[in-house]
Structure 1
Amino acid sequence: MGSTLEIGWDEYGRLILNLCFSFVIMVLAELRQFNKHIEPIRHAFAEKEPSLDTLRSAYLRTHRLPMLAVKRIFGPHMLGLSVPSSLAAAWMIHSGLLHLPYSYIVFGIIGAVLITSMHALIEFFLTEASIPVLLRHFREEALAKHEADFSLEEHSHVSIGPKFLISCTLIGTFPLFLFSVMTQVRLGSLSGTSMRTYWAWAGLVVLLGILFSMIAALLLTRSVQRPIQQLYAAMNEVKDGSLLQMQNHYSDEFSRLVAGFNMMTKGLEVRERQNRQMLDSLFTTLAVALDARDSYTAGHSVRVAEYSVIIGRLAGMRGQELDNLHKSALLHDIGKIGVQDSVLFKEGKLTDEEFDQIKSHPVLGVNILGQIEPQEKMAPYLGGVRSHHERYDGKGYPDGLSGEGIPLFGRIIAVADAYDAMTSDRPYRQGMAHEQALGILEKGRGTQWDPELAALFLSYFGKICGSIGAGYPEKTG
């Protein structure tokens, strides 16, 4: 703007002195504010062993530095320069040391606001690009010295929408505003009518510039926010256990992000499948190892699990619930590990004390499984393990539960366990025929076993209400 003025060299010199004087005031005011802004950060570096609160304060202040930079530019930076220089210029005009209209001071302030806006924009993005190293340092310090993670801390941030809107508007309109003001100074000698015509034209150009800049900012914001929102929604799905694949219909760098996300979920899916297979094998191995103690009961747990899944599927179970039933049935007798062999494999009649040992195996099983971490992952299996010897009429053990007060898995496993126990060979007896075992299940419906679940099992073998059909499966294992 100074290049458009028609003044002498001595007046230019006074303007430069005014600018230098104002610049010193600006530097002092801005340094004071800057030192205040970085005080928590400086304090964290000054301490040999910074506390967690000190590190958290420095971490959060570092996140705020970009916005604080904008405030500093619009505060002590702009005012520290503009206010003293405007007052000094007004005094020089009043004293005759500067031959300019007072209106030029207003134009100068407008120009200062325009320059400050662009300066603040650049300062915001430069500061935002420089703070990650500080954030990483404070986070690592907190992790190393206090085992605390700041990565999930709430922090001040500016969303993409306002960033793009303000940036595009400033970039699109800053040259127009500045050119209009400088032209006003240059054409200061025009008549009132000509000046009004000029500002009508300049105002239209500026408005069109603002309009196009805002439209461009909105379109750009939407094109960036849409894939970000989709990625964020997809990550929430992954967090909840759904390993979905995103549709990749982008033609820019977001295409690589989506492709990377899909590769990540594919990798997680493979790992999840491997973990599931390993867990299934582990449960089966435990069941087989338990049954291996006695050659006469070999395969008992696996068969009970198969029968339980049949009943569960007929009862409407699907997916994870059916899988939980299968695992619970595989481990239903795990507590027998704690029962002495002399009692467990005794061929004659058990004494009361020995029978009490046998009856303790459901509770022992729950105690064993309760030692496995994480405990909440084992919780779905405990009900079936503890209650598979409860009776529908309440005369079972260990808790004497009755009816639907018995956990569903326990009621299902009770039917499957009884059928396999009756049809399996023992050292002291031959296994029953299928028809005989099914007849006992029919008679025990509503007393020993859940009537509906027992009916489902009988129906699968072609027997309902005493009518026996053909087509029984051969016992395996």
Structure 2
Amino acid sequence: MPIFSTFQKRMFLNNLLSSAFAVFGVGSTFIFYTISLSLFETIILLVIMVLSVLIMITCEFVTYKKQIKPIKLAFTEKSNSLRTLQQAYEQAHTFPVLTVKRILIPHLLGLSIPASLLASFFIFMGHLTIPYYFIILAWAGAILIATMHALIEFFLTFRTIQPLLTYLSEQAKTQFSANLSLHKNTFISIKKKMLTSSLFSAIFPVMLFSLANEVHVFEQQGLRWSEYWSWASIILVMVMIIALSGAFLLYKNIQQPLHELQEAFHDVKNGEFNVLENTYSDEFSQLVTGYNHMVTAIKERDALNKQLLESFFTVFAATLDARDHYTAGHSIRVASYAVKIGENAHLNEQELNLLKKSALLHDIGKIGIPDRVLLKDGRLTDEEFSYIKQHPVIGATILEQVSLTEEMKPILPGVKYHHERFDGKGYPDGLKEKNIPLFGRIIAVADAFDAMTSDRPYRKGMSVDKALAILEDGKGTQWDPYFASLFIKIMKEKDSTDSNSEPAYYR
């Protein structure tokens, strides 16, 4: 698996860089710059360090293979059980602590025991002239350096395990519809991290400098101040780098989850309610859990509000149509036709949602038309038709007075301009071609088809084929040719696949 392979590479790189910094950087500076050695003694110490490092790597590798086994199983088995994923998830969470244990036990002992034994042997043989007392001081220095190494890898490992935790969590949700949990014994509080890091950053430089000073003063009796400070300045720079490194790693460990939460709240502000993967094992785990609960509650509330709003629009449209039993269901059918046109025109989900609402309310202005005109059984006079022609403007005026939100304002053009003609001979404003808003052009086709195929007091509704033929003839004059063609194609395809049943658009 690429994720697991990348994790192993990053762990190796973290170990290599931190070891090089701690052992060959700080350790070498401590030894070779503090103690006066001949060339032969320097070579002996280098050989001791190389041999000890090889033994250390062997001990650490054996321990690492044991620690990584539960995680590796989750990435190498062909089919994982939920238990395997859970064990890998818990092990990954504890990996920063396991890394510290690995460095402070097999790493430290694997390096220090062989080094002290070899150094003692060469001192005994007379090849090294340093006193045995220095081996005790070297152990103290090794413990300090190993602790610093462990602290560095502790924070680096926290960042390295994030992709693993995300992957394992996603697999549990995808395969078993389950959320992986974290036991309390894997919880590492920010308080502990900060106290440990701060204490170490404050004490370690002082102890390291004191240790180096003890060795240097012990060896260099009668040292002049200029020579002393020439040596001390190098040690102090190294100590400062160590202290700053510890503070920076602590900052990065805290800064990352804060940044993720900040970005997540910014997304919420922009209407994006994305749940965060909870890959933390400290107080940030509780913060992320709380954030996810908040987002879930907002999404559930929004879904309920949308459902209520959809129901309101549908009920309101049905109430409007109920004024005249001949037009019952008209607005709902027009909305269904309009959405089908929009889907085939590749409108996005938000546009389709607004188009549906606009179509449901396209005749809301008929509230302002007198019953004697709206419910007249016969054909309308010119004066009566002039009343009817006012309903798009009345409808738009009603909706404007409701103070629609910015998100809902796009429904207005469909209500106001669904009786405009493509050739500019429609009403209320005589708009032409693409000057007619998108929703107006779509609803015009849907509205006309339903009007032609519905019964009226003075005529029987025409057949679907005849209505489609009229739409075909009116392309480019009364209706937008593109949307009219789309609708004709939709209806003919539906008729060919389900010719013996009522079209779904009527339901």
The TM-score with structure 1 as length reference comes to 0.59
Equivalent residue, structure 2, for 1:84: none
Distance 2:309 2:488 in 1: 31
Shift of 1:197: 4.8
Contact 2:205–2:240 (CA<8 Å) still a contact in 1? Answer: no
Shift of 1:428: 1.8
Distance 1:373 1:332 in 2: 17
1:224 maps to which of 254, 259, 272:
254
1:433 maps to which of 463, 474, 479:
463
After TM superposition, list the pairs within 5 Å mapping 1:36-435 onto structure 2: 171=202, 193-200=223-230, 202-435=232-465
What residue identity is the alignment partner of 1:235? F
Q: Deviations over 1:171-200 (max 9, x none)?
A: 3589679989xx9xxx9xx99734345435
Distance 1:312 1:205 in 2: 73
Distance 2:461 2:244 in 1: 84
Shift of 1:399: 0.4
Shift of 1:345: 1.1
Shift of 1:469: 9.6
Shift of 1:373: 2.9
Equivalent residue, structure 2, for 1:456: 486
Q: Deviations over 1:109-144 (max 9, x none)?
A: xxxxxxxxxxxxxxxxxxxxxxxxxxxxxxxxxxxx
Distance 1:196 1:469 in 2: 98
Equivalent residue, structure 2, for 1:444: 474
Distance 1:462 1:177, change over 3 A: closer
Unaligned runs of 5+ residues in structure 1 are 1-162
What residue identity is the alignment partner of 2:398? I
Distance 1:191 1:468 in 2: 105
Q: Deviations over 1:365-398 (max 9, x none)?
A: 0011111234423311001001000011111000
What residue identity is the alignment partner of 2:395? G
What residue identity is the alignment partner of 1:476? Y
Distance 1:463 1:201 in 2: 89
Distance 1:257 1:469 in 2: 54
Distance 1:445 1:234 in 2: 48
Distance 1:469 1:203 in 2: 88
Distance 2:267 2:425 in 1: 46
Distance 1:448 1:255, change over 3 A: same
Shift of 1:441: 0.9
Q: CA RMSD in A?
A: 3.3
Tell me which moved more, 296-305 or 370-379: 370-379
SS at match of 1:370: helix
Distance 1:238 1:389 in 2: 39
Shift of 1:353: 2.3
Distance 1:343 1:463 in 2: 38
Matched residue count: 306
SS at match of 2:441: helix
Distance 1:428 1:284 in 2: 28
Tell me which moved more, 441-450 or 299-308: 441-450
Distance 1:374 1:368 in 2: 10
Contact 1:392–1:449 (CA<8 Å) still a contact in 2? Answer: yes
Distance 2:497 2:275 in 1: 48
Shift of 1:348: 2.3
Distance 2:421 2:279 in 1: 59
Higher relative contact order (CA 8 A, sep 6+): 2
Contact 1:168–1:214 (CA<8 Å) still a contact in 2? Answer: no
Q: Deviations over 1:8-49 (max 9, x none)?
A: xxxxxxxxxxxxxxxxxxxxxxxxxxxxxxxxxxxxxxxxxx
What residue identity is the alignment partner of 1:254? F
Unaligned runs of 5+ residues in structure 2 are 1-193
SS at match of 1:288: helix
Shift of 1:296: 1.1
Distance 2:497 2:288 in 1: 57
What residue identity is the alignment partner of 1:319? E
Equivalent residue, structure 1, for 2:110: none
The TM-score with structure 2 as length reference comes to 0.55
Contact 1:248–1:259 (CA<8 Å) still a contact in 2? Answer: yes
What residue identity is the alignment partner of 2:472? E
Distance 1:197 1:261 in 2: 59
Contact 1:415–1:454 (CA<8 Å) still a contact in 2? Answer: yes
Distance 2:201 2:435 in 1: 70
Distance 2:467 2:449 in 1: 6
Computing the radius of gyration over CA atoms, which structure comes out larger, 1 or 2? 1
SS at match of 2:272: coil
SS at match of 2:460: coil
Contact 2:209–2:235 (CA<8 Å) still a contact in 1? Answer: no
Distance 1:293 1:212 in 2: 82
What residue identity is the alignment partner of 2:258? I
Distance 2:396 2:481 in 1: 26
Distance 2:418 2:404 in 1: 23
Contact 2:205–2:243 (CA<8 Å) still a contact in 1? Answer: no
What residue identity is the alignment partner of 2:349? G
Distance 1:439 1:469 in 2: 19
What residue identity is the alignment partner of 1:171? A
Shift of 1:407: 0.7
Percentage identity across aligned positions?
Answer: 49
